Structure 1
Amino acid sequence: MPRPLRIAIGGVHIESSTFTPHLSTADDFEVTRGDALLARYDWLAPVQPWAADVEWIPLVHAWALPGGVVDATSYDAWSTEITGMLAGIGPVDGVLLDIHGAMSVVGRDDAEGDLVTAIRSVIGPEPYISAAMDLHGNVSPVLFHGCDLLTCYRTAPHVDVWETRERAAHNLVDALRRGERPHKALVHVPILLPGEMTSTRIEPARSLYGRIPGIEARDGIVDAAIWIGFAWADQPRCRAAVVVTGTSAGPTTEAARELGEHFWAARDEFAFVAPTGSMDECLDAATVAVADPARRPFFISDSGDNPGAGGADDVTFALERMLARPAVRDGSLRAVYASLVDPEAVARIADQPLGSPVDVLAGGRIDPREPGPLRLVGTLEAVADDPDGGRCVSVRVGGLSVLLTSRRMQYRQVASYSRLGIAVDAVDIVVVKIGYLEPELFDAAGDWLLALTPGGVDQDLERLPYERLIRPLFPLDRDFVADLTVVTG
């Protein structure tokens, strides 16, 4: 009877903007090891038939909300732990790499490439490595050649995260049981777009990703994946990519070429997922719109400082524009601003009785771009503990509830508002630091706009000071012939 396969699991999962001054450290990460790491994966509890007769070996997994560049000390500690454990557990047949794909580390241009290289230095060339990634990650040549299988999410907003991780694991097990190293093909597509222009809810991304099931149904194909790439890092690896893996070289190469050509052909069709405008233009439109009850609550995305893409979460530009509105200050409009991270401000006021007067400076401590810290003069409306944001408070200024958090978080779930006593459906306008609306907010919104606000994840890419991208690159450059060379491995 053959021995069980031995597969190790680990990784570091974060996307990092190089345009925000926020520095991600170990304190920002949730770290799991041992049985707690294995418990993350549904196919192991209870074990699925395809995953049986496999010894699943937990290494370490670190996950964080998107943020700034990761400090080298934190990354090096996890990389050393992963490779040290691999060296100590004896030979493995495979490694499941659970990563994002857009991590940046101080002093490194290709963090995931660095990690897979370190792993290969320990396990050698024979074991298979399968990577599960976010479609907003990057596929560098080093990462591509270091892995045997790569796959990524197929939805944005991401509703197939765990399905993707299971697919990566299942593909790895199947390949090991076949005993044949997969063929793989990569096409880098010279496009770099923000995620808010590539939602799979709308065209052309919906049809582009819709091609994947048909391609996977072909003889000789195991998996097809499309990466949008990560727009908020200034690194040579940042661009779109297609990777196809299969059991037959010819069909695998042809499928990658086909998907790459379709992606490039659709480049002029990509548009923002919602109408856009400046913050003031969006507030003007929302103020008119909420006269119609069917369009309430009206959401505005403060997209340039979206912590879900790596923004600092404390740029005060959009809040200042709200507070400048007489209808907001006098209470004619009921509004919510979610949110600013400011543990110092929270600590100053959270222990006061509800209804106490508040006079506090908030925001602008991490990302100091104008207008910087704002003075909030109002009343303490609510205090709550949030599993993501830590201690949180709501400060009422006229008709506006300003939400302050102790930790960076994204107000993407209705329950987070409810903890602070806010019924979203009873509000006129909600300004939230987000890009495209996550599913719960999308369902709750009567209408919405995407404000092109400043920040570390500015949606207007031409305002970002890129210096190190490989050019030409659409849409920063437009009049060029794309190199869609297929790289195989």
Structure 2
Amino acid sequence: MRIAVGGIQHETNTRAAITPLDAFILGGGWPGWQKGAQIAATLGAMNLPVSGAIAALSADARVGAANVLPLMWAAATPSGRVADAAFDALADELIERIEAAGPLDGVYLDLHGAMATVSHDDAEGELLARIRARVGDALPLVVSLDLHANVSRRSFELCDAMVVYRSYPHVDMDESGARAARLLIERIVRGRPWKKAMAEVAFVAPLTAQCTLAEPAQSLMARLERLEVEEGLASMSWASGFPLAEVSCRQQTVLVYGDDAKAAGRVSLAFAAAIEAERDRFTEAPLSAGDAVNEALRRVAAQAGLPVVLCDTEDNPGAGAASDNPGILRALVERAASRAVVAVLCDAQAASAAHAAGVGGRIELALGGRADAPDNTPYEAAFIVERTTDGRFTGTGPMWRDSPIDLGPMALLLVEHTDVRVIVSTRTMQAADQSIFRHVGIEPATMSVLALKSSVHFRADFNAITSSVIVVR
């Protein structure tokens, strides 16, 4: 079998700034735009769907490594709507490479499912429609999607199958790509599409309530996995939607594939009803920055040991925020916190000033507060530069394992006359991997308070070293 492999990944927060093509070229938390043989060479065994798919296809004797045809893969840090010119450039090259690959038995694509452009709320649907217009409807096409995908009816109908991650934090991205690849092989062998059903759920929960390490998502996902086996389905998925994409297709969906159309419809509707029945449990109770810090310091005093996490979900760059709100930093200083660190505040000017001053230098800054967001004002103070780096390091946690990360010039700053520190960067990445701290010389488990600009992904790497989590609004 000759199978083409590629992908375009972007999670769009429609309130954030427009995303240019450079964001895909540079990457950030993930490698930048990869083409052809670069995909396998660069991404290797990273926790990425395309990596898992390539490995699964190459290991299957019916395909083999020589018949896996890498096209292109690009991902950008979550941000605002993708510029139309950027989307067109990415889509055009992907389609041109599909056509240049010659006769194909199938196509696997690593997509997100919550990408929107300036002109298209449903960017994946638009991309798939363009592909189908060039390759026809008969060519088997299977895609993997992020758990936060906003799946439209249009994109669902254009694919032979869609496979969604089953964990949040997304520790199973590579396995989801492998599942999609195996499903594609099965689709080619059977010679005909499955019957399929899609059920929609009327609400989308806050990101922090979608965590599959907690209820009710944990039990629902376990139930889905049992149903897939018990009902003899080819595949079953649940996409919980991305709440920060204000688009027409924002929704939760249940996707079912099998040989019996009636059974697929019945299972999809029943599971959608089960999600709806848990609606009141998909909630969060965030605290203000001041109240959250007060509670964190109370917990630290009561249970000396592992650090408390302040989850700065509102300024999470993993959901498209600017990652430059110093509100928690200000609250930590005002309350005289000790052994507290904020990560990562994105301020290229501050990073540059720190590098110019050098380690041990004293600099006065109006830190952060540039993005147009509620209660986001610069924090004016004097800082001592404790460490400067080039921002290039390798991820070590379950999600970013072996991934080369490039956040541009970085610095560790100490607020003068305090025991509160902040890690600043030039480019954004949510603080979901301990390597970010170790890169600037901090062992996170030795701190009292870790203020992390992340919603849920941090749990994969930090849960084992922290005592509790407080969600901050």
Q: Same fold (TM over 0.5)?
A: yes
Matched residue of 1:176: which SS?
A: helix
Question: CA–CA distance in 2 between the matches of 1:45 and 1:179?
Answer: 23
Residue 45 to residue 132, structure 1, CA distance change in 2 (3 Å): closer
Partner of 2:295: 285
What letter matches 1:388 in structure 2?
Answer: D
Question: CA–CA distance in 1 between the matches of 2:293 and 2:112?
Answer: 34
Residue 23 to residue 85, structure 1, CA distance change in 2 (3 Å): closer
Equivalent residue for 2:34, pick from 1, 10, 32: 32
Question: CA–CA distance in 1 between the matches of 2:297 and 2:276?
Answer: 39
Equivalent residue for 1:400, pick from 407, 412, 420: 420
- After superposition, residues 67-466 of structure 1 pair within 5 angstroms as 67-218=79-230, 220-272=232-284, 276-294=286-304, 296-325=306-335, 327-328=336-337, 333-367=338-372, 369-386=374-391, 387-397=405-415, 398-436=418-456, 437-452=458-473
Residue 52 to residue 95, structure 1, CA distance change in 2 (3 Å): closer
Question: CA–CA distance in 2 between the matches of 1:17 and 1:200?
Answer: 22
Query: TM-score by structure 2 length?
Result: 0.88
Deviates more, 1:38-47 or 1:131-140: 38-47
Structure ranking higher in helix proportion: 2
Partner of 2:15: 19
Q: Does structure 2 conserve the Cα–Cα contact (< 8 Å) formed by 1:336 and 1:429?
A: yes
Residue 153 to residue 31, structure 1, CA distance change in 2 (3 Å): same
What letter matches 1:48 in structure 2?
Answer: A
Question: CA–CA distance in 2 between the matches of 1:154 and 1:184?
Answer: 19
Question: CA–CA distance in 2 between the matches of 1:370 and 1:207?
Answer: 36
Residue 306 to residue 43, structure 1, CA distance change in 2 (3 Å): closer
Residue 15 to residue 45, structure 1, CA distance change in 2 (3 Å): closer
Question: Per-residue deviation at 1:50?
Answer: 5.5
* Number of residue pairs aligned between Structure 1 and Structure 2: 441
Q: Does structure 2 conserve the Cα–Cα contact (< 8 Å) formed by 1:128 and 1:176?
A: yes
Question: Per-residue deviation at 1:220?
Answer: 4.7
What letter matches 1:364 in structure 2?
Answer: G
Matched residue of 1:289: which SS?
A: helix
Question: Per-residue deviation at 1:294?
Answer: 4.1
Equivalent residue for 1:49, pick from 54, 60, 70: 60
1:370-420 deviations in Å (ceiling 9; x for gaps) = 443322312101112333322210111121111110111122122210121
Matched residue of 2:211: which SS?
A: coil
Question: CA–CA distance in 1 between the matches of 2:62 and 2:176?
Answer: 15
Q: Does structure 1 conserve the Cα–Cα contact (< 8 Å) formed by 2:16 and 2:321?
A: yes
Question: CA–CA distance in 2 between the matches of 1:410 and 1:371?
Answer: 18
1:8-67 deviations in Å (ceiling 9; x for gaps) = 111210101012236354235311111122454246458323653582221111112222
Query: TM-score by structure 1 length?
Result: 0.86
1:263-298 deviations in Å (ceiling 9; x for gaps) = 1122122233xx631111111111111113445311
Question: CA–CA distance in 1 between the matches of 2:411 and 2:18?
Answer: 22
What letter matches 1:322 in structure 2?
Answer: L
Question: CA–CA distance in 2 between the matches of 1:411 and 1:51?
Answer: 41
Moved over 4 A (4+): 42-46
Matched residue of 1:112: which SS?
A: helix
Could you tell me which runs of 5 or more consecutive residues in structure 2 were left unpaired when the two chains were aligned. 44-50, 392-404
Q: Does structure 1 conserve the Cα–Cα contact (< 8 Å) formed by 2:3 and 2:63?
A: no
Matched residue of 2:385: which SS?
A: strand
What letter matches 1:260 in structure 2?
Answer: A
Q: Does structure 2 conserve the Cα–Cα contact (< 8 Å) formed by 1:70 and 1:104?
A: yes
Residue 171 to residue 254, structure 1, CA distance change in 2 (3 Å): same
What letter matches 2:443 in structure 1?
Answer: A
Question: Per-residue deviation at 1:118?
Answer: 0.8
Question: CA–CA distance in 2 between the matches of 1:309 and 1:339?
Answer: 14
Question: Per-residue deviation at 1:88?
Answer: 2.6
Deviates more, 1:125-134 or 1:254-263: 254-263
Deviates more, 1:162-171 or 1:200-209: 200-209
Q: Does structure 1 conserve the Cα–Cα contact (< 8 Å) formed by 2:407 and 2:429?
A: yes
What letter matches 1:49 in structure 2?
Answer: D
Partner of 1:485: none
Could you tell me which runs of 5 or more consecutive residues in structure 1 were left unpaired when the two chains were aligned. 453-489
What letter matches 2:152 in structure 1?
Answer: S
